[in-house]
Structure 1
């Protein structure tokens, strides 16, 4: 089960939780004529797409380009590229910290005090990361030439992020102790923090195009995967472990408070920013470049949206993650609600953390070649299966104290589900890397990543609302009569009211199972009828079809 909540970084979402944004600059391919396409037809098969090479022993240009790309990947990284990789990992790490807090730790900590309906408001904080294409052209085209195209945005964004963390650290205790009266304040605060992290992400994505050499651009997705996942896990799984009073007491260590954690990352943000200002120079760009003009970038975005296959890819991303939305958002909260000790959950996710780093590296290797979506397609069924497994685990939860056999089974499921999620995340990132048009740099990548991230975030608030709507819980006395004085028996507040009246909450129908089944059935249906067949066709398209100046576009028949 995916208790880390990423859709992709959870998570996913993403990415996710969480959230995929790897980049690779590919040289533009020349357009092919209709006669060439007819001479070299494309055949679709169940396990992927294979090219049929016809003619007088000649190889299709796209096949030769694929071989050139593989040769580049096999070359060792230069010292310059290694340093660039380290810098990219650190910058993506800073992004992952506020994402892990806003999308993971904060909802987890507030579950004891708020209903799922109230949590749905706080889950809106994930939206800026999914809508950043709206302001990505501004980040791409407006900057100070003296500072640098990307540093002009990265430096102020990190200063703001660090300052906000410092401000939250001084006000966290008061708000977290009484969140019921500060839902709007919490929503605005964490949404703003994610907004600035998303803006920094746009600039970092674009900088990766020039930081890494042509031979090393394929490793940009690895830097993004490692950095973002480390930041997300540190702020969600690792923080929750050391924030737990039981965990701290069990292992004899001081409890890590939210205030202290935020102040630590505030110092990190400021330190990295100072280093960027004084010690890291950015390659200059020509002020006469037409792609630097804001109007030109928006026109390029419009041309991109007019490509039929790009619109289909957007729809694929929009519906591909419906299957496990309830699982990612609710499962871990349900287990804690049923009695899973927080220290046991924290220990489980700490075990899961190194496995996800290994998964990211392996998935990067599996996603190379001309079928980067193959791991993404295969891992879908594993994630769909773990939705069923999660419901069974929640339904059969034995209660505390837990035996070692159940805990080992729980950790195994957690690791395997996270492994499948990471494979999907890296696979789709590799596909984005291959098809991106370098003529509009970060904007192209941002649009692709926005589509992917949005698919993992837009259902979230609705899932929280539906779980409360489908849950039927009554406050009953020991004799079985219903206490009408308690309006609801879903939130911790309602449960305490019921307990004060010498009653207990009796769940007649748990909305978690209903919503999980709805997501599973709807997601699998859409996957079989639309997502999978469309993804196979999109993967078969030559690179030239994804260029905004391509005169003819369409899907292979």
Structure 2
């Protein structure tokens, strides 16, 4: 591989104006016709002094651009969408294994400290920003800028899955003695999948035409969710002997599942290598060195509107953080069977695909964040409904009517979640510079993921701290109440049961934390998120660009 270099002697990343940057013809431009002076002032208010001057100098040029009309999707774009779905599917499969099904299979055999060691496998996907500049800058010209990384990464992922399938019995029979090997193998699997994701994100910006860029997020939703659910929910369901016998389906082993997907990886990689030609991207000043790309990342982070977008991402998911982190656990605790939970998710999956497609259509045009903003309201509403479902959950077995109600609730709330994911991804695709597309999109997606990750620790900790649990033990005919905070956790409940006691929860911290999250979420939505999001989507595309000097 070779790094591409800037055409100038000493590259330095600076913010750009319309007069000084080359914008790829595949990059969507924000239409400026019809904006009055007040709206322009709102847009420029998000920028620093130098950025305002640069954007103002460039407005006259962009105002002459015609408003882009929605066109029918061409055959080339349709083929590109299918390819992107397949590539995202391939990375979703190992993620579903490492982050979902394998920890579930190991939880009965490992201590919490050992599970924490295995949890390191998820870190590479959150830290991929650290090496994304290398993926953007180093490649074989003869192979293609994106294929140079996608092909070897997929081959390695397929080989790792084949290795695990051949050794799965040894690894899982005694996982305590093999925890280091398990952690290394699955951490490597996620690392190579994350690297493939960087390259695919960058390729999506040039693989699709300008009018269809909003569908890149739909392809990601379809592919990634399909792979993740296939490896998590679907696999766990078919791997369960109880589920297989109940519904008359064949029992699926982990070894057989891994062998199937390793063959899929090899087949797609072979097709990419010999039958798919990657269009050459124009060689210009943005084909930069690794050092220059890292400087560009820092320059992007210093842009005031990027900083505002980051702040929006970090607080956007607080309102439904408790619902996403705890509700499903509470439902299982109340007696909802995991097999039934898997069935609900399976029913919900086609609606997620439909939601992704519709959200991409809604995100085309001048207001790509509109569906993302609107979807906040049903998500918050159904977070409240979910809390009430947990509170009034009936004693098992649940009735058919209540089960149907749970399905409807899951489908509608999941639909709103998918609309938000696709909407914000479409906006990222719109503003990301395709010349450093993998890095730019990875930067923005990193903060999106962090917005959903950082509240979880506080939510789970808050449920424990705010819960009032009692272990009641009957001794010699007398009731002895023993206060035990551990009675909130599965371990504490098991300990209480071992001493012949019964856990009694006088106050469940879940309801307090869920209510607090929703109240804070509504306040942030109305006072900060919506106003800032509307200003951000009104900014011209030029202010999101950076260049090399």
Helix, strand or coil at the partner of 2:503: strand
- Call closer, same or farther: CA 1:24–1:280 in 2, change over 3 Å: same
Alpha-carbon shift at residue 160 of structure 1 (Å): 2.6
Alpha-carbon shift at residue 356 of structure 1 (Å): 0.8
Alignment of 1:3-152 (within 5 A): 25-26=26-27, 38=37, 41=40, 65=65, 67-68=67-68, 70-71=69-70, 74-78=71-75, 80-106=76-102, 108-109=104-105, 125-152=121-148
Contact 1:130/1:457 (8 A) holds in 2: no
- Call closer, same or farther: CA 1:515–1:258 in 2, change over 3 Å: farther
Q: Determine if the alignment matches structure 1 residue 481 to structure 2 residue 480.
A: yes
Contact 1:203/1:442 (8 A) holds in 2: yes
Equivalent of residue 437 in structure 1, options 426, 433, 438: 433
Equivalent of residue 538 in structure 1, options 527, 536, 539: 536
Contact 1:131/1:454 (8 A) holds in 2: no
- Call closer, same or farther: CA 1:210–1:379 in 2, change over 3 Å: closer
Contact 2:32/2:65 (8 A) holds in 1: no
Distance across 1 between alignment mates of 2:385 and 2:113: 25
Alpha-carbon shift at residue 472 of structure 1 (Å): 4.5
Distance across 1 between alignment mates of 2:388 and 2:204: 43
Helix, strand or coil at the partner of 2:480: coil
Equivalent of residue 339 in structure 1, options 335, 339, 346: 335
CA displacement 1:2-48 (0-9 Å, x = unmatched):
xxxxxxxxxxxxxxxxxxxxx9941678999xxx985874569xxxx
Larger Rg: 2
Q: Which residue of 2 aligns with 1:16?
A: none
Distance across 1 between alignment mates of 2:349 and 2:31: 43
- Call closer, same or farther: CA 1:165–1:334 in 2, change over 3 Å: farther
Alignment of 1:14-413 (within 5 A): 25-26=26-27, 38=37, 41=40, 65=65, 67-68=67-68, 70-71=69-70, 74-78=71-75, 80-106=76-102, 108-109=104-105, 125-169=121-165, 190-284=186-280, 291-413=287-409
Range moving further from structure 2, 420-429 or 302-311: 302-311
Q: Which residue of 2 aligns with 1:504?
A: 502
Root-mean-square deviation (Å): 3.6
Helix, strand or coil at the partner of 2:335: coil
- Call closer, same or farther: CA 1:502–1:183 in 2, change over 3 Å: farther
Helix, strand or coil at the partner of 2:375: helix
- Call closer, same or farther: CA 1:116–1:390 in 2, change over 3 Å: farther
Alpha-carbon shift at residue 186 of structure 1 (Å): 6.1
Contact 1:322/1:520 (8 A) holds in 2: yes
Distance across 2 between alignment mates of 1:432 and 1:146: 29
Contact 1:169/1:262 (8 A) holds in 2: yes
Contact 1:130/1:451 (8 A) holds in 2: no
Gaps of 5+ in 2: 1-23, 44-58
Alpha-carbon shift at residue 122 of structure 1 (Å): 5.9
- Call closer, same or farther: CA 1:182–1:312 in 2, change over 3 Å: farther
Distance across 2 between alignment mates of 1:176 and 1:499: 28
Range moving further from structure 2, 192-201 or 463-472: 463-472
Contact 1:366/1:372 (8 A) holds in 2: yes
Alpha-carbon shift at residue 538 of structure 1 (Å): 0.9
Equivalent of residue 527 in structure 2, options 529, 542, 554: 529
Q: Which residue of 2 aligns with 1:419?
A: 415
Distance across 2 between alignment mates of 1:228 and 1:253: 25
Helix, strand or coil at the partner of 1:476: strand
Q: Which residue of 2 aligns with 1:514?
A: 512
Gaps of 5+ in 1: 1-22, 45-58, 552-557
- Call closer, same or farther: CA 1:231–1:440 in 2, change over 3 Å: same
CA displacement 1:362-399 (0-9 Å, x = unmatched):
11111122111111111112111222111111122213
